[in-house]
Structure 1
Amino acid sequence: MRIICIVIGLLACFTVLHAQYTELDNIGSNPNHHLGILPIFFAKDSAKGSPYLALGWLRGMLELTNHKRLPEQGHGLFFNYDKMNERLFATDGVSKTWFYPHDSISSFYLVDSNTIYCFERVPLISQAHFLLSLVKSEKGYSLYKRLITKFIVADYRDEGYLGTGRRFDRYTDSYEYYIIYPGDSTFKKLNLTVRAIKKALPSESSRLNKFFSQKSGRVDEHTFVLLLQNINDQNGF
């Protein structure tokens, strides 16, 4: 009798398992079920970086293409720059916030602590983008850079036993540099490397060779700005 009970129990268990596997097979053959798409749950950390130039409103000055300058005397305005969409936002500091159309702006500068950001539209280089002015000379070399901000989505994956990727979204900044030659009729895009700088300034080779005699690889922005200003001074620009 005991053996019969065990056999009956095994048969019942087999029947249940067979029914479950049959149900799974039916689900797998159903085109409305996507077996490869399973939810992945994780809590995002705070985003790194920002789509804006600063975390708060800044003082500054704006010049429109009709040569009108803002803020007007007696009127307070505060600004911030949307780096991703290249939009200048403004507020009256009370309740109103707006942004200026890109093609209505000639230039603007913003002050953040001890840093002054000077943005311009430079038609010779680009009609579509604002550029930061680093060195400006009427007769000598001028240097501009374009600020490019990209949004990168968190890519964290929890595999159950192992987590990979980042838990946070991030905003990353990169830069393009442009040098305008004396006469303001030609320009060149360049990287801040010794080789690229020498190639971009062949007429200044003797000065550059002397300056870079003990240096190779990349050049930081501050160093190149000082170098270009020094070349302008030595050339009497």
Structure 2
Amino acid sequence: MKTIWVLFLTAVISVNSFGQTTSISGTVKDAQGQPIPLAFVRDVQHYYATYADSAGSFLLKADPSSVLVAIANGFADTQVKIENKTVVNIVMPTGTSSSANAAGNSAGLAGPETDGGGGVPYYQTLMTQTGSSTAVAAGFAHEPTRGSQFLLPHWVHGFAIGIKDSLWFDINNLYNYDKASGSLLFTKDMKTVMRINKPGIKYFSLFNGKLLPLTFENAPAISKKPYIEVLLNNAKYKIYKQTDNKLVQADFKSDGVITSGNRYDEYVDYEHYYFVKAGDKPKGISLKKKTLKELLGGDADKFIAAQGDRDVDDDYVRELGYSLAQ
């Protein structure tokens, strides 16, 4: 695969990461009361940020004495004082967003950023090709490849936090996660794909239209990959999800009477979950209510009881994590 280096095209905002925080919910709507999906909402004084979901609702931690700003293409940047409220609704007037357009001019470029040590640029362009295979191998025609090495079926919005607690975002970029390599990818034009190199990023979040983001960080005790997903994160413990993704080649065989195997290549996921208590080594776990109760003590009992017969899955654990942060 051919690679070339490119400039760092994401706006970097250096912000103060200190201060008290509180959980804030709200909505982002236009002047007619219609929701603005995937509006970017952040605390202007800190690195706390999120995107609104498909219904315009958002959740985030923020400094109660700070100000929220909402950013969306086609709307003027809008600031609202928090004033110690836990519910903040934002109404955005139509207009031009200076922040959304920042990466499109020289003022919004951060230059060829490096890690400060080895001089490795944060971004690498991957020249990719698309299309399904029509090759014939081992005497049979391949069917279209099934599954994907990418986490999400579509490119999505996201942002990252740098090692110095700087907020990196560009509302014009779209992101995805490569399950095979554990890398963060982004595109500006849906044609050229760029890989983000690990130096300089503490963690990143992807937004798939739901209220809670998909968050990834480096966890060398669990995986050698640059990033893996953290489903639950607080001061006492974390729950990680590692997805190993492998391409299984077509293995169709026939002697004219008996056939076996598949005519298609397939990307297959192998999922593993780990619990890490502060100061302890990672422990492999299964996502079950009994397991969560045992690992989290009484912390999870109230949330689990409120969920009734709901099955435990990734979203369940993300919501549990948010409830523990209240």
TM-score by length of 2: 0.46
Q: Distance in 2 between matches of 1:222 and 1:101?
A: 28
Partner of 1:169: 265
Amino acid of the residue matched to residue 56 of structure 1? Answer: H
CA contact under 8 A between 2:180 and 2:245: conserved in structure 1? yes
User: 2:229 aligned to 132, 154, 159, which one?
Assistant: 132
CA contact under 8 A between 2:183 and 2:226: conserved in structure 1? no
Mark the CA change 1:177 to 1:156 in structure 2 (over 3 Å): closer, same or farther: same
Structure 2 residues not aligned, in runs of 5+: 1-136
CA contact under 8 A between 1:42 and 1:158: conserved in structure 2? no
Q: Distance in 2 between matches of 1:126 and 1:101?
A: 16
Mark the CA change 1:43 to 1:148 in structure 2 (over 3 Å): closer, same or farther: same
Amino acid of the residue matched to residue 132 of structure 1? Answer: E
Q: Distance in 1 between matches of 2:319 and 2:173?
A: 33
CA contact under 8 A between 1:40 and 1:158: conserved in structure 2? no
Mark the CA change 1:104 to 1:157 in structure 2 (over 3 Å): closer, same or farther: farther
User: 2:219 aligned to 101, 105, 122, which one?
Assistant: 122
Partner of 2:284: 189
Q: 1:63 aligned to 2:161?
A: yes
Structure 1 residues not aligned, in runs of 5+: 1-38
Q: 1:49 aligned to 2:137?
A: no
Local SS of the residue matching 1:102: coil
Deviation, structure 1 residue 82: 1.4
Deviation, structure 1 residue 178: 1.7
Deviations 1:36-83, CA, capped at 9 Å, x for gaps: xxx8411111111111122332111123335443225xx621112111
* Larger of the two Rg values belongs to structure: 1
User: 1:113 aligned to 191, 209, 233, which one?
Assistant: 209
Deviation, structure 1 residue 185: 1.8
Deviation, structure 1 residue 128: 3.8
Q: Distance in 1 between matches of 2:156 and 2:270?
A: 22
CA contact under 8 A between 1:130 and 1:146: conserved in structure 2? no
Q: Distance in 2 between matches of 1:57 and 1:144?
A: 23
Q: 1:156 aligned to 2:252?
A: yes
CA contact under 8 A between 1:190 and 1:200: conserved in structure 2? no
Q: Which has the higher helix share?
A: 1
Mark the CA change 1:67 to 1:97 in structure 2 (over 3 Å): closer, same or farther: farther
Q: Distance in 1 between matches of 2:148 and 2:251?
A: 18
More displaced stretch, 192-201 vs 62-71: 192-201
Q: Distance in 2 between matches of 1:40 and 1:126?
A: 36
Partner of 1:30: none
More displaced stretch, 43-52 vs 87-96: 87-96
CA contact under 8 A between 1:49 and 1:171: conserved in structure 2? yes
Mark the CA change 1:55 to 1:198 in structure 2 (over 3 Å): closer, same or farther: closer
Q: How many residues align?
A: 184
TM-score by length of 1: 0.61
Deviations 1:103-151, CA, capped at 9 Å, x for gaps: 443211111232631111235545644221222222x433221122111
